[in-house]
Structure 1
Amino acid sequence: MATNSSLSSSFEIISSLRFDPGLPEAACRYASSYPEHPNSPYYLLGYHQARLRAAANHFQWDGALNWLKQDLQSFEKFIDASISDRSKAWRLRIVVNSEGEARVEANPTPSIDIMSLFIPPLQTNQSSPIWRVYIDTQPTTPSGFTTHKTTARDEYNSARLRAGILSPSEPAEVLVVNSGGEIMEGSITTPYFLRDNVWFTPPLSSGGNAGTTRRYALSQGFCQEQTIFRDQLVDGELCWLSNGVRGFMRGQIVAK
């Protein structure tokens, strides 16, 4: 039987976010509806730190929790060291182990319409590609590994393969579903569905992740929480998707 220490060393907690040199100027224009310091090029950085703290607390990782208790300015300074060219956009993956040892994996990421980083009512570019959104054919069991983002992502990777999504660059997503038929979340995004002229996102009780853009959307009143069942989704219906690297994207349900 695996011990608690061996279980702790078998995965790490993570959070992925965007560094974008165009964010500060745009955030200053919309400071009243953007919850972060407008001068930071890190998208929703405080929410990412809070998300990592919540994961460390859940898994009872005292070393990680102590490291994550540093102030936001120090946290940002730590991440700064991973940016080799501040004139470009980067996809950053913050990785923290149970002992509080952290690293940042930085990869160049394509430029996007900067307005995509703000909640959809502020969206100006409606010509962006529509993502194909599939529904997983097998259930996923909710656990600490679905509520919190970790490197233990086999279930999400399997769901993507079942949907035929072979590359992370594809404009495609798959919705993971619990055994009760409730939509939990997307494999890499938070989904939002329109019902009676109100946007809804699945509640955390369905088993999905407490994402940073999800928190942002809820805080700004863009959406409310409501249980969404897979049999309520209609082929061709439009939805929104969001994550900490790409912001908000349009999606369309593809019911196979």
Structure 2
Amino acid sequence: MFSVPIRTAVLDPATSTYVYGAGGGITWPSDPATENDEVDVKARILTRSRREFDLLETMLLGPEGVRHRTHHLDRLGASAGWWGFPFVRHHAEELLDSLDPADDARRLRLLLSRAGVLRIEHTPLEADAEAVVELAIDHVTMRSDDPFCCHKTTWRRHYDEARARHPGADDVILVNEHEHAVETTIANLAYRVGDRWYTPPLDDGGLAGVGRSIALADGRLTERSIDAAHLATVDELAVVSSLRGWRPARLVERRP
């Protein structure tokens, strides 16, 4: 019995170099140009730049300290484990303990680098401009297995691009490859049908938001997928986050 490693870098200890093999199965009808393109695709990982990002938790700092602190640290620890970032929880606890309660609400960001370095930033929390959040539905789909949508990080280009496509809306609803509504760029999505409130399941590609998790545990929300096209037919919409809580919403732009 033997195996042939594919797309695997093999270290030569004598020279401290790696050898990475890439190829393809050649058959009689194979096209040389297509086979060459396939090798290029398989080897692209060697030249593709690695995204640099931090893991991130955004929390509310108020007169009583950090809201939902335990939930946020639980999520940060889970993401750190998934990405392989070193995370020492008691260091994060000590960092948060060093903060004085804020008389006015502040936006607190706890960041964890790839090297395991923790830092905090906080700024005044701006007041909501509108009583009802106006939402657009994006026409560019996201992948439900994209880890940058399933974990909270500082890599936000996909969110920024979605917002740029809809400058007239307060926020944008993301849609996955199955045409299911997922979440907005800064909050989880909730919708009411009859007397029940629902939120898209995490399998659809959204973030396990702290406010969402608490609402699920309290029985206020139930997970259920919804086609983006059906959002116009629900009885009520809302956006949910740990930072700003539960806010009513409405559609102002639908998909073309």
Q: Any conservation in 2 of the 1:89–1:111 contact (CA below 8 Å)?
A: no
Counterpart residue number, 2:134: 132
Q: CA RMSD in A?
A: 2.3
Deviation at 1:82, TM superposition (A): 5.1
Deviation at 1:244, TM superposition (A): 2.1
Candidates 49, 56, 62, aligned match of 2:73: 49
Could you tell me the TM-score, scaled by structure 1's length? 0.74
* Structure with greater strand percent: 2
2:115 aligns to what SS in structure 1? coil
Counterpart residue number, 2:155: 152
Q: Any conservation in 1 of the 2:193–2:235 contact (CA below 8 Å)?
A: no
Structure 2 counterpart of 1:133, one-letter code? L
How many Å separate the matches in 2 of 1:217 and 1:76? 24
How many Å separate the matches in 2 of 1:235 and 1:156? 25
Q: Any conservation in 1 of the 2:232–2:251 contact (CA below 8 Å)?
A: yes
Could you tell me the TM-score, scaled by structure 2's length? 0.74
Alignment map for 1:1-256 (pairs within 5 Å): 7=50, 10-21=52-63, 24=64, 41-61=65-85, 63-64=86-87, 67-68=88-89, 70=90, 75-81=92-98, 83=100, 86-110=102-126, 129-142=131-144, 143-164=146-167, 172-234=170-232, 238-256=236-254
How many Å separate the matches in 2 of 1:88 and 1:188? 22
* Structure with greater helix percent: 1
Counterpart residue number, 2:41: none
How many Å separate the matches in 1 of 2:211 and 2:104? 22
Structure 1 counterpart of 2:84, one-letter code? Q
Structure 1 counterpart of 2:77, one-letter code? R
Q: Gaps (5+ residues) in structure 1?
A: 25-40, 113-127, 166-170
How many Å separate the matches in 1 of 2:114 and 2:53? 9
Deviation at 1:80, TM superposition (A): 4.4
Using CA pairs below 8 Å that are at least 6 residues apart, which structure has the higher relative contact order? 1
Larger radius of gyration: 2
How many Å separate the matches in 2 of 1:243 and 1:157? 18
How many Å separate the matches in 2 of 1:86 and 1:198? 36
Deviation at 1:2, TM superposition (A): 5.7
Q: Any conservation in 2 of the 1:16–1:94 contact (CA below 8 Å)?
A: yes
Deviation at 1:188, TM superposition (A): 0.1
Amino-acid identity (%): 26
Q: What is the count of residue pairs matched by the alignment?
A: 207
